[in-house]
Amino acid sequence: MATRDENGTMTNRYKTSGANRLWRLASNHTATGLAILSTVLVIAPLVAIFIYLLYKGASSLNLAFFTQTPKPVGEPGGGMANAIVGSGLLLAVGSALGVPIGIAAGIFLAEFGRGGKVANAVRFTADVLNGVPSIVMGIAVYALIVLPQKHFSAVSGGIALGIMMIPTITRTTEEMLLMVPHAVREAALGLGVPNWRSVLSITLRTAMPGVITGCMLAFARVAGETAPLLFTAFGNQFWSASLNEPIAALPLQIYVYAISPYDEWHRLAWAGALVLILLIVVSVALVRYVTTRGVLKGAS
Amino acid sequence: MGVGIQVTNLNAWYGTNHALLDINLPIPPNEATALIGPSGCGKSTFVRCLNRMHETNPIARVTGSVRMSDIDIYADVSPVEVRRRIGMVFQRPNPFPTMSIYDNVASGLRLNGFRNRRILDEVVERSLKNAALWEEVKNDLKKKSGASLSGGQQQRLCIARALAVDPEVLLMDEPASALDPVSTAKIEDLIFQLKSQYTIVIVTHNMQQAARVAERTGFFLNGKLVEFDSTHKIFTNPGDKRTEDYITGRFG
């Protein structure tokens, strides 16, 4: 910083050594230290949860856990194979519903409805939907699908999860599309590319990494949801891969086991929680790997 | 081959702002026509009217006629068709950031459904050669992103991308204003070579550039075309006092 001394000539304050320099070094190190501390504080809970789950659940993890269905009370052993498959199926149905609708709505908000009344209404609805408690979502789907059908089903559970994914995906898609520079859209239009084609092949493609992050956030969030499944997928002690029947899910199974009075079941609940987290981490990492494989040198 | 453009009574607005007033201008084929004038005088708006990019702004409006050979681009054809025949290079290099160099050049054809790999290869090579970029990138065509090139290379990539769809006219909106002198010289050389195949309209803030590359020059001021004549006449013996004041640096 340049300042004037008493004679009115310019001097460079950075050249003055001593106390000034010490002060700058001290504040620099303080700021760096605070940043590192904050990072540790963010990571610590995740690491703590993971270690605790390993400690409590790892001992109950064996081949049977992944291959067998739950055993009746009193019988040792048994596993959560049906719940793992059930969770996979529910999330597949949820994603098949939530991802396309969410992305399409995001495209509408960012590209076609921008600033219009319809877009504002859609955006408001998405924000409200995001704030709806998951148990309420469960009751709503129960009333709309389970009651008319007169039975619980995997498909109703998947729909409940899918609806919960929509607002997160819609809003992140919108944000990511709006971050694509205007110049990129102009380049496509200037080449004589129709607008719809430009939106799908250029703008959406440019925003894809962010859009995928939004989808994974939504996926990870609903993967652990229990409440919306209570009245929809309901849970099932036996094998089922039918969309039209009640189906087991990891969070439901964990819930049932964790509130039971049996120690054996408690251990299985811990193991289930560990598997649930691992499945989420693995699927997010997998999607990230697959979608970033083709990225070129220097691509932004 | 390039074709000429006849602009008649062209008016353009942004909302209530009347940006272009009654522009009449013949753009001859296979020549470079330079448009000069101070910032905000309407020259960029004018070139954006020539390929109907102006109307991509929701508050923009145009009246008048722009004829290219025997078609009126505002009446006879769709904007998409117009932009395919009248290519554009923008002020800031804007390659598609997620695409390789090859994909950038091929994008115009591919996005319109063209898939023949052999012909695409040929077009990409020819376009990059025409844009004087081939030698610098031929080994990284599919390995490097268009965004990884230097600014000057990116702009030549954008020129190659525009040439790949084989337009008849090339509009350049201050194509060298974001580039260093060496890259600028390369773009100017390029304009010289491209004239034989395309009609070129170039907007520039740099009057020496206009004098170097263009056969004809138009001077815009406050949304009006003040003077349009051969570049030599504009820079040595302008017919209008305002043109003289501008090119001698008395304002603007």
Question: Which residues are within 8 A (CB) of A14 and not within 5 positions of it... i.e. 6 or more apart?
Answer: A1
Domain boundary among A60, A91, A110: A60
The lowest-confidence range among A246-255, A270-279, B98-107, B176-185 is B176-185
Give per-residue pLDDT as tens, A209-244: 899 999 999 999 999 999 999 999 988 888 888 888
Domains and CATH numbers, chain B: 5-95+169-247 (3.40.50.300)
Do B57 and A169 meet the contact criterion of CB atoms below 8 Å apart? no
- Residue contact B94–A296, C-beta within 8 A: no
Going by pLDDT thresholds of 50, 70 and 90, the confidence category of residue A293 is: confident
Q: For a pLDDT cut of 70, what percent of chain B falls above it?
A: 99
Boundary of a domain, candidates A43, A60, A77: A60
Average pLDDT, chain A: 89
pLDDT for residue A288: 84
Residue A182 sits in the same domain as residue A80? yes
**Scanning every residue of chain B, which has its alpha carbon at the shortest distance from the alpha carbon of A206?**
B98
Examine the pLDDT at B226 and tell me if it is beyond 90. yes
Residues A42 and A118 in one domain: no
- pLDDT value of position A20: 86
Specify whether A34 is located in the same domain as A142: no
Domain tally for chain A? Answer: 2
Same domain, A236 and A206: yes
User: Which CATH number characterizes residue A241's domain?
Assistant: 1.10.3720.10
**Does the residue A10 lie in any domain?**
yes
Region for B10 from its dihedrals, namely left if φ exceeds 0, alpha if ψ lies in -120 to 50, beta otherwise: beta
pLDDT digits (tens, 9 = 90+) for B52-84: 999 988 899 999 999 998 899 999 899 999 999
Inter-chain CB proximity B83 and A190 less than 8 Å: yes
- Report the alpha-carbon distance of residue B228 to residue B219 in Å, rounded: 6
The answer to whether residue A232 is domain-embedded is yes
Region for residue A195 given its phi and psi (left: phi exceeds 0; alpha: psi -120 to 50; beta: otherwise)? alpha
Residues B153 and B176: their CA atoms lie apart, in Å, by: 11
**Out of B92, B144, B165, closest to residue A191 by CB:** B165
**What confidence tens digit (pLDDT) does each residue in B136-187 have?**
999 989 989 999 999 999 999 999 999 999 999 999 999 988 888 888 898 8
Nearest-by-CA chain B residue for A292: B98
Inter-chain CB proximity A191 and B53 less than 8 Å:
no
A23 and A78 housed in the same domain: no
Residue A300 lies in a domain: no
Out of B53, B98, B162, name the one closest to residue A206 (CB). B98
pLDDT value, residue B108 = 92
Mark which of A60, A80, A106 sits at the end of a domain. Answer: A60
Kindly report, residue by residue over A72-81, the tens digit of the pLDDT. Answer: 887 877 889 9
CA distance B10 to B23: 5
Please state, for a pLDDT cut of 70, what percent of chain A lies above it. 92
What pLDDT shows up at residue A1? 47
Q: Report chain B's mean pLDDT, rounded to a whole number.
A: 92
Instruction: Tell me the pLDDT tens digit for each residue of A103-143.
Output: 999 999 999 988 889 999 999 999 999 999 999 999 999 99
Tell me the C-alpha distance between B228 and B114, whole Å.
40
Is pLDDT above 70 for A6? no
Residues A37 and A172 in one domain: no
Q: Are residues A154 and A6 in the same domain?
A: no
Distance CA B246, CA B108 (A): 38
Does A76 share its domain with A171? Answer: yes
Tell if the CB–CB gap between A193 and B108 is shorter than 8 Å.
yes
- Tens digits of per-residue pLDDT, A8-48? 555 555 555 678 889 999 999 999 999 999 999 999 998 99
Residue span of the structural domain in which A272 resides: 63-292
Q: Is residue A297 part of a domain?
A: no
Are A250 and A198 part of one and the same domain?
A: yes
| Distance in Å, alpha carbon of B172 to nearest chain A alpha carbon | 11
Same domain, A15 and A109: no
CB neighbourhood size of A249 (10 A): 32
> C-alpha A257: how far from its chain's center?
25
Q: Does a structural domain hold residue A176?
A: yes
Residue A207 lies in a domain: yes
Same domain, A191 and A44: no
- The answer to whether residue A107 is domain-embedded is yes
- Same domain for A109 and A34, yes or no, is no
The answer to whether residue A280 sits within a structural domain is: yes
Residue in B closest to A197 by C-alpha: B111
Nearest to B112 among A184, A186, A193 (CB): A193
Contacts of B96 in chain A (CB under 8 A): 184, 187-188, 202, 206
Question: In 3-state terms, what secondary structure has residue B6?
Answer: strand
